[in-house]
Amino acid sequence: MKSLEKYLTITPEIQEAIANNKPVVALESTILSHGMPYPENVAFAHKVEEIVRGEGAIPATTAIIDGKLKVGLTADELELMCKAENVGKVSRRDVAVYLATGKVGATTVATTMMIAAMAGIQVFATGGIGGVHRGATETMDISADLQELAHTPVAVICAGAKSLLDIGLTLEYLETMGVPVVGVDTDDFPAFYCRKSGYKVDFNAKDEELIAKILKTKWDLNLEGGAIIANPIPAEYELDFDEIEAVIQRALVLAKEQGIRGKDTTPFLLKHIKEMTEGVSFASNLQLAYNNARVASKIAVELAKLD
């Protein structure tokens, strides 16, 4: 563990909360550096942290800065991530390189889960998970998020999987890897901008108290890995499924024409979807992320009561 301490930096507030079993919610930084423009991302970052605190939990935004895995960021560090100048998108395979070279890195779902687990944080709020990309039977483009969910004991509260993925194959992969998919008062697996994807969750949990009990039971049994807590976008911000599908298809064609591959695919597609929907998708993205932070905080509070 000594080598871990060399690389892991946790703010005193978060360290105290973890030590005293207070609720903490991990937050990623890729959404700031690669998912939103500056300075809107600064306002978003502060708003998410406010929501977490408002529900009685402590926010823990993660990043890689100056050779350290950061758990909790100062105002200056948050600004650095939001300006995104020479900030890379870091998944698990990139972590050692970024630490060894001192490069600044924004944490994806996979990396945030990894860092959260190292710090002892069990709950993480994000927008939507990565998954199996459309056409993956040829490209083998499958997000590292899915392997992380299979092995890392962190619950990921999300609005399902991003609509631009092959959601059916994503759910098949999660089933194979033994990752439970629990709906927040829903039978339907959400598709990011849409409340329904045409697929079902494994279990419909009516409230955060029950979700916390399910998570505690899983980890008490030493069952490996995390869980997907699928939280649909609020109905008033939902986009029409057929309309967003048509937009995604156009964006996919653009990506293919421009040779966009791998981890550059999702930021590229989200940028073009935002442009094609004249910003409507961006507004929905904000609201689903706020909603996930709210639910994640409630689950963290309930989990803390159970220990």
Query: What is the set of active-site residues?
Result: 28, 162
Question: What amino acid occupies position 194?
Answer: C
Question: What amino acid occupies position 90?
Answer: V
Give the side-chain half-sphere CA count within 13 A for 156. 34
> Which regions of the chain does DSSP assign to beta strands (E)?
8-10, 24-27, 58-65, 68-71, 87-90, 104-107, 123-125, 155-158, 181-184, 203-205, 227-230
The tokens of 172 are what?
Answer: 């098949």
Give the side-chain half-sphere CA count within 13 A for 289. 27
CA–CA separation, 257 and 269 (whole Å): 12
Alpha helices in 34-128, H assignment, sequence order = 40-54, 75-83, 95-101, 109-119
